[in-house]
């Protein structure tokens, strides 16, 4: 009899967790993704990510990325995904991927930052950075995650 009660309580708990997680996911999936452009900080993010920032500077045949993703509480994973340096001949249209950078994710942290992370480029083009700010909460059952696509300001890098 005790075993039946234990399994009944366990099943009820799992059903409640499943319903709760489904409602949580639906609430965040209905919010359109935040996409920002330029050298600005967004402190009105929704969900797990409290604020994010992305900026790019130029050096001799290099671009330097400065980025921050911060959360409301310590996350299981936080950082940057799908980091791509893009180039354009006119700085406003026809963006092409030039360099892909591996994800920069850390664990058990409240925020993650890149400070003047340098990437070599060809030069002779306008450049921008595209990346996804990412956070995944801690949890055993159905932890939520959030991704926000962001574009940096545009800079010119000379060919020589």
Which tens digit of pLDDT belongs to each residue from 100-131? 999 999 999 999 999 999 999 999 999 999 99
Q: Mean pLDDT over residues 139-157, rounded?
A: 94
Rounded Cα distance between 47 and 146, Å, is: 7
> Could you read off the pLDDT of 36-93 as tens digits, one per residue?
444 445 555 558 999 999 999 998 899 999 999 999 999 999 999 999 999 999 999 9
CB–CB of 52/66 below 8 Å?
no
What topology does CATH give the domain 33-157? Immunoglobulin-like (2.60.40)
CB–CB of 54/93 below 8 Å?
no
Rounded Cα distance between 120 and 62, Å, is: 4
Q: Give the closest residue to 100 by CA, choosing from 81, 78, 114, 122.
A: 81
* pLDDT over 90 percentage in the chain: 65
pTM above 0.75, yes or no: no
Structure tokens at 147: 């991704």
Domain residue limits, the chain: 1-30, 33-157
**Greater model confidence, 5 or 123:** 123
Task: Kindly tell me the burial class for residue 135, based on how many C-beta atoms sit within 10 Å of its own C-beta (0-12, 13-18, 19 or more).
Answer: buried
Query: What confidence tier does 15 reach under pLDDT thresholds 50, 70, 90?
Result: very low
Rounded Cα distance between 115 and 41, Å, is: 15
Mean pLDDT (the chain, rounded): 79
- What pLDDT was estimated at residue 60? 86
- What pLDDT was estimated at residue 18? 40
């Amino acid at each position: 009899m005790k075993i039946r009660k234990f399994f009944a309580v366990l099943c009820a708990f799992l059903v409640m967790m499943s319903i709760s997680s489904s409602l949580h996911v639906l609430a965040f999936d209905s919010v359109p993704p935040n996409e920002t452009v330029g050298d600005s900080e967004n402190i009105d993010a929704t969900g797990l990510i409290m604020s994010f920032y992305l900026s790019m500077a130029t050096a001799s045949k290099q671009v330097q990325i400065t980025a921050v993703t911060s959360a409301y509480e310590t996350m299981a994973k936080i950082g940057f995904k799908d980091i791509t340096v893009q180039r354009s001949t006119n700085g406003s249209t026809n963006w092409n991927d030039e360099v892909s950078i591996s994800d920069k994710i850390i664990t058990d942290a409240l925020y993650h930052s890149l400070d003047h992370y340098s990437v070599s480029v060809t030069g002779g083009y306008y450049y921008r950075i595209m990346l996804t700010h990412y956070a995944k909460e801690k949890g055993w059952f159905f932890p939520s995650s959030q991704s926000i696509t962001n574009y940096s300001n545009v800079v010119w890098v000379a060919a020589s």
